Amino acid sequence: MRPVVIAGVGMIPFERTEEGGLVEMLATAGLNALVDAGVDDRPVDAVYLGNMASGLFNHQEAVASALVDSLALMPAAAERVENGPASGGSAIKNGFLAVASGFSDIVLVVGGEKMREVIGPKATDIVATMTHPMAEYVYGVTLPAQAGMFARLYMTKYGITRHHLAQVAIKNQNNGLLNPYAHIQMKITEEGILTHPQAHINNPVVADPLYLYDCCPVSDGAAAVLLTTPEIAKALKKPQVIIAGVGQATDTHALQEREDPTDLKAVTLAAKKAFEMAGAQPKDIDVAELHDAFTILEIAESEHAGFFKKGEGAQALDAGVTQIGGKLPINPSGGLKARGHPVGATGVAQIVELVWQLRGTAGKRQVKEAQTGFSLNFGGFGNNVLAFVVRREA
C-alpha cells in the first residue's frame, strides 16, 4: 500500500445552520480543505462523502453527485459512504484505500449532516433508524436509551459515579470554549449540573443515569480532509501528517445480543488493528479524539482502546490525565459533547482536529509537541467502529 498523507483539512463551525442547505455546508467545508492543501488546479480524482441520513433529514439522495458539481470537480468520481455515526470514519477509510491502492492520487473526503431541518423528536427517531429493526427499533429504543442502559451497567460494574460523568462534560465543554468551531460555547460546573439543589432544572434526566449534559447536542456541520501521496503533499509544501493505521470492526447489531453488554469488543478490535498497522501502542499516543456522544462513552472507549485498564479510565479522568496538559489529552476539540455531533461529520472532524494538533496550529487548545494522534468513531451502539492512528513524519 502507498502511504497516504492528509495534506489539507477544513471545517465549518458546528451549530444550528439557518442558511444554506446540506450541499452548501458540505461544499464549504470541502473548499476549505482544498484551499488549505493548496491544490489549485490539480485534478481531484475522487470525492467521498460521509453522511448518515440525507434521505430522512433532507429528503435528498445522491448527495455526492451534488457535491462534486457544487465544487466543480467533475469528472471526479464521487460517492457517499454511510455507516451510521461512523459514516465519517468509513468515508476516510475508503478515501484512504483509493490513494493507498494507487487508483487515485488526490481524494477529497467530506463528512457532514444537516440534522436541524427536521423538528423536535424526529431527529432522535431518524438517529434510531440505525438500531436493529426487529430487536430494538420496534420497541421504541433510542440511542440515549441504549446509552442509559449501558451507562447503568458500566457504572455499577466499575464503580463510576455521576461525578465522573460530569467531569467528562466539564472538561469537554471547557475545551470547546477554546475551539471556535464548537457548537456549545458554555462553561459548566459540577455545582451547576450536579450538586446544587436546583441542578436538576438545568440538567434534567434524559435516560437515567444520563442527564442533559451527558449527551451531545443535535448539530449541523461539515468537515473535510484532502488525502494524497507523500510526493504530492511535498509538492504542495504541506506537513507530512500520514494516516499510519486504520482499524475497523463490527459487533452484534443489537446491543442485547452481546454476551457482556459492557464489553465494547469492536472498539478493542478496531483500535488494536489500527495500532498494529501503525506499528504503535497506546502509550505512543499524544492526543486522542474519542466518540463521546454520551459522557460514559469517553470513559469506556478510553479503556477499550487500551489507554487505561478496565475500570481505571474514570480515575485517570479525575486525576487530570485526559486534560489538555495531561499525559493523554482526550477530546481537546471539545469532542462530540461540545463541538457537536452532526452525524456524518464527526469521524472527519476528529481527524481534522488531530491534524491541527500535529501541525501545532490548534491555538489555545494546542497539545504540546503532539506527534501521534488517535481517533475513534463509534457507529451504532458500538456495532461498527473505526479507529485511526495519524502521525506527523519528519
66 belongs to the binding site for a copy of itself (CB under 8 A): yes
250 belongs to the binding site for a copy of itself (CB under 8 A): yes
What the block records as the C-alpha cell of 29 is: 467545508
Angle, CA of 350, 354 and 355, to the nearest 5°: 115
| Residue listed under C-alpha cell 476539540 | 333
Nearest to 5 by CA among 88, 95, 133, 117: 95
The rounded distance, in Å, linking the Cα atoms of 105 and 12 is 25
- Cα–Cα separations (whole angstroms), residue 249 to 19, 71, 130, 382, 384: 37, 33, 17, 9, 6
384 belongs to the binding site for a copy of itself (CB under 8 A): yes
Member of 8, 10, 84, 176 binding a copy of itself (CB under 8 A): 84
Of 76 and 355, which CB lies nearer to a copy of itself in the complex structure? 76
What the block records as the C-alpha cell of 140 is: 421504541
103 belongs to the binding site for a copy of itself (CB under 8 A): yes
Q: What is the footprint of a copy of itself within residues 21-40 (CB under 8 A)?
A: 21, 23
252 belongs to the binding site for a copy of itself (CB under 8 A): yes
83 belongs to the binding site for a copy of itself (CB under 8 A): yes
What the block records as the C-alpha cell of 30 is: 470541502
The rounded distance, in Å, linking the Cα atoms of 245 and 277 is 5
The side-by-side arrangement of strands in the sheet containing 46-50 is 46-50, 106-114, 220-228, 5-11, 241-250, 384-392, 372-379, 287-289
What the block records as the C-alpha cell of 127 is: 438517529
φ/ψ bin of 98: left (φ > 0), alpha (ψ from -120 to 50), beta (otherwise): alpha
Q: Minimal distance in Å, beta carbon 110 to a copy of itself?
A: 14
Member of 18, 19, 41, 59 binding a copy of itself (CB under 8 A): 59
Of 334 and 347, which CB lies nearer to a copy of itself in the complex structure? 347
Of 265 and 341, which CB lies nearer to a copy of itself in the complex structure? 265
**Coil, strand, or helix at residue 387?**
strand
376 belongs to the binding site for a copy of itself (CB under 8 A): no
Member of 73, 145, 151, 207 binding a copy of itself (CB under 8 A): 73
371 belongs to the binding site for a copy of itself (CB under 8 A): no
Q: How many residues does the chain have?
A: 394
The rounded distance, in Å, linking the Cα atoms of 304 and 131 is 22
Of 101 and 189, which CB lies nearer to a copy of itself in the complex structure? 101
Q: Minimal distance in Å, beta carbon 201 to a copy of itself?
A: 34
DSSP string, 140-170: T--HHHHHHHHHHHHHHHHT--HHHHHHHHH
Member of 133, 140, 204, 363 binding a copy of itself (CB under 8 A): 133
Member of 29, 64, 143, 170 binding a copy of itself (CB under 8 A): 64
- Cα–Cα separations (whole angstroms), residue 176 to 150, 238, 313, 335, 366: 26, 27, 21, 8, 12
Q: Minimal distance in Å, beta carbon 297 to a copy of itself?
A: 17
The rounded distance, in Å, linking the Cα atoms of 108 and 27 is 11
Q: Minimal distance in Å, beta carbon 291 to a copy of itself?
A: 15
Q: Minimal distance in Å, beta carbon 207 to a copy of itself?
A: 20
Of 265 and 339, which CB lies nearer to a copy of itself in the complex structure? 265
- Cα–Cα separations (whole angstroms), residue 262 to 149, 227, 299, 332, 353: 10, 36, 12, 26, 28
Member of 34, 100, 352, 390 binding a copy of itself (CB under 8 A): 100
Segment contacting a copy of itself (CB under 8 A): 130-138, 151-159, 174-182, 293-301?
130-138
Nearest to 48 by CA among 224, 280, 286, 271: 224
Member of 266, 285, 330, 349 binding a copy of itself (CB under 8 A): 266
What the block records as the C-alpha cell of 53 is: 441520513
Segment contacting a copy of itself (CB under 8 A): 89-97, 163-171, 224-232, 308-316?
89-97
Segment contacting a copy of itself (CB under 8 A): 60-68, 212-220, 329-337, 353-361?
60-68
Greatest Cα pair distance, the chain, in angstroms, is: 61
Segment contacting a copy of itself (CB under 8 A): 85-93, 176-184, 201-209, 348-356?
85-93
State the residues that interact with a copy of itself by CB under 8 A: 1, 21, 23, 46, 52-53, 55-56, 59-62, 64-66, 68-70, 73-84, 87, 90, 93-94, 97-98, 100-103, 126, 129-130, 132-134, 137, 246, 248-254, 265-266, 269, 379-380, 383-384
